[in-house]
Amino acid sequence: QAVVTQEPSLTVSPGGTVTLTCDSSTGPVTTGHYPYWFQQKPGQAPRTLIYETSNRRSWAPGRFAGSLLGGKAALTLSGAQPEDEAEYYCLLSYSGIRVFGGGTKLTVL
Amino acid sequence: QLQLQESGPGLVKSSETLSLTCGVSGGSIRSSSYFWSWVRQPPGKGLEWIGSMFYSGTTYYNPSLKSRVTISVDTSKNQFSLKLSSVTAADTAVYYCTRPSSDSWGQGTLVTVSS
């Protein structure tokens, strides 16, 4: 089974920019992996931020952007706000079998 | 707006079968364009994909759970269900139903496996 790897933790300053990545053990991540990104805050259900690589959900602020970068799926946050502090998970599809990454704890400090 | 709601026992005995239902409101489960999924999260840990189902009947399961998992749909009740057999303490988690592309998630239900 494929393993999906994310940075365990990242810190960004308020107003700063940070990129979270999602790596696949089977090789480069492509649009065919239909990357998703989810945000989860403590005690809450996850929320879908980005689906199918770069499609941002209507609730998600424009400062979040999904892309492919260097063979990985990437979530870039530009202009971080304190409310962006959360756990972020990516999800990749392998011919229908889906695998979550371990999550990135993002601190805005 | 699509709303999902999990229901089922919060306590299951070890070796028995966990059964949860996800009620769908504000939209039809008969949508060929979307996949419906179950996801779980053990206390203090990350998300784990359990399986997904398309209305067409095609299902995909986590290989590590495949021998114990069944996801099915009841179109007459506009709901889909999860069955996980032979549970152990390792199956204790918050279980979510979701249609992720629509950012539709249930609130989650904690299922504890007791010995």
The whole-angstrom distance between residue B91's C-alpha and the CA centroid of its chain comes to 13
- In this structure, are residues B88 and B14 in contact, taking their beta carbons and an 8 Å threshold? yes
Whether the CB of A79 is below 8 Å from some CB of chain B: the reply is no
Question: Which residue, among B95, B101, B110, would best test binding to A if mutated, counting the most A CBs under 10 Å from its CB?
Answer: B101
Q: B72: alpha, beta or left, given left = phi > 0 and alpha = psi -120 to 50?
A: beta
A91 close contact with B: CB closer than 8 A:
yes
Is residue A22 classed as helix, strand or coil in its secondary structure? strand
Residue of A39, A48, A52, A56 to mutate, testing the B interface (most B Cβ within 10 Å of its Cβ)? A48
Instruction: Identify all chain A residues contacting B48, using CB atoms and an 8 Å cutoff.
Output: 100
Single out the residue of A52, A34, A58, A88 nearest to residue B104, CA to CA: A58
Gap between the Cα atoms of A2 and A100, Å rounded? 10
Please indicate whether, in this complex, the C-beta atoms of A102 and B46 are within 8 angstroms of each other.
yes
B108 contacts on A by Cβ (under 8 Å)? 45
Q: Are A104 and A91 in contact (CB under 8 A)?
A: no
Closest-approach residue (CA) in chain A for B54 = A96
Q: How many CB pairs under 8 A join A and B?
A: 58
Helix (H, G, I), strand (E, B) or coil at B45: coil
State residue B60's pLDDT score: 96
pLDDT in tens, chain B (115 residues): 889 999 999 999 999 999 999 999 998 888 767 889 999 999 999 999 999 998 777 999 999 999 999 999 988 999 999 999 999 999 999 999 999 888 899 999 999 999 8
| Per-residue tokens: B35 | 């996949």
Query: Using the beta-carbon criterion (under 8 Å), do B103 and A91 form an inter-chain contact?
Result: no
Residue B102: the pLDDT is 86
Q: Are B5 and B108 in contact (CB under 8 A)?
A: no
- Round the CA-based radius of gyration of chain A to a whole number and report it: 13
Q: Which two tokens stand for residue B82?
A: 């999860």
pLDDT confidence of residue B32 = 64
Q: Which of A88, A98, A104 to mutate to test the interface with B (most CBs of B within 10 A)?
A: A98
Closest partner residue to B103 (CB to CB) among A1, A40, A48 is A48
Beta strand A104-108 with B3-7 is unpaired
Full pLDDT tens readout for chain A, 109 residues: 899 999 999 999 999 999 999 999 999 999 999 999 999 999 999 999 999 999 999 999 999 999 999 999 999 999 999 999 999 999 999 999 999 999 999 999 9
Helix (H/G/I), strand (E/B), else coil: A53: coil
Return d(Cα B88, Cα B64) in angstroms, integer. Answer: 14
Strand pairing report for B48-54 and B59-61:
antiparallel
